[in-house]
Amino acid sequence: MHLRALRLQNFRCFREASFEFPRITLLTGRNSSGKTTVINGLLTVVQGTHVEPYPFTLTQNGDLCTLGGYRDLVYGKNVRSPLGLDIKVGSGAYQTEAEQQWTVEATYDYFRETRSGAPRRIKIQSLNGSFEAEIDETRKYSVAFERVGGETEETRRREILAAMSKVSGFSPRFGNDKERPEFSRVLRKRGIARLRNMNDVTAAFPNEVLYTTYLSEFFNVFLDMQRTFRYLGPARLYPRRFYFERTMTETRVGPQGENLPQLLARWRRNEPEKLRKVVEYLQELSLAVGLFPLHVKSNVLQIMINVGRRSFSLEDVGFGLSQVLPMLVSDIELGEAATLAMSQPELHLHPAAQAAIAEYMWKRTKELKRQYVVETHSEYLLNRFRLLVSKGVIPEEDIALYYLSLEEDRVEPKRIHIRKNGTLEGAPKDFFDTYRLDSFNLAMSV
């Protein structure tokens, strides 16, 4: 499941902003211009729990990001403003290959009683149907559901079995003649007091198989989004000389590169082909020729890096290597058809390595069906992407570049198109002008 689009309304520094996500999306601009906020919008969706998932609950504080209270989340700290967070996702690798597409539109209001946001309006739409809920003047919800497409009797029987096999709370609750399953295609109900989780939503029509099956399909999409999405923040953990090997509750790399040493040690024991892949990626970026986790004691690890003919502890090699390593390991751990969002992958890397990341990412989009959302300040990285487009390596439609700038009291994103001749269509006058101006002034001073 890949991202297709994101729309933010009154979300932190944005009054209104929309973004499309092809294979590679680049976010750039001055400091404090809203680049991280775009990624935070995605994280707010993904870090919802299976008990209270997006869009029924707005999870602005979780494992991936901490954004504060509702007042901190809404534009201008004005709790009277509605907050909108819409997202579009799809299976099939990218926008032009969608096999299944889901669009979620969600608007939230502030409730003083709970000091938090609650849905004002939710709309979930796919090729198979739509679900819509809206709050009225009595602070209760009206729900409407419509299932589209033809179902045969055999299809209905399969849907019953599928619905009954879902996790507790999502199966139709029937077991006697008074609770026979129904197959209504259009449903409407008013006066629903609460919509905080999927159980609240399914309770509206507990015996409607088409309805509960549709919601189960959406719930599975949400779980798939969580499973196939990773985020690496701008502050990765400082490398250490020794690590304690411990039992891992999470088999994934965390936002700061957590669990990376333990994961490498596990791969060496059980999945050596993955460890060989890490080495291959390091060589591709010309950062090292080898890597292996070494047990100094039974539960003490040391990550050794081969540079040339000698081996060094991770702490003793260039700092940039430790900062880029979580990206390489995340790509391998995620597997195929997933999304990796990153803040400044170029941290502490020399210019040639920064530029090489562009080629690295493009190779992974092809071999792993990877999708990248990248916040960056690197001219070297952006210019290498321009070069790859101009050479015809990357099609124009497979890369999106957004320049974010603060104008008066709000942030305005500008979509810049990288064209086949390498030009930047729609770029503002001051876009990456530092190097050009310095080069001109240097030439004039000679």
Q: What pLDDT, on a 0 to 100 scale, did the predictor assign at position 167? A: 46
pLDDT recorded at residue 286? 94
User: What is the pLDDT, as a whole number, of residue 168?
Assistant: 43
pLDDT for the residue 33: 86
User: Quick one: tokens of 441?
Assistant: 């002034």
The structure's pTM equals 0.89
What is the number of other CB atoms lying within 10 angstroms of the CB of residue 423? 12
Report the alpha-carbon angle 422-425-431, nearest 5.
Answer: 90
Q: Can you give the residue ranges of every domain in the chain? A: 237-336
What's the token pair of residue 378? 């690197």
Model pLDDT for residues 171-215, shown as the tens digit of each residue: 545 445 455 677 889 999 999 998 888 889 989 998 888 898 899
For the chain, which ranges sit under pLDDT 50? 95, 153-154, 167-170, 172, 174-175, 177
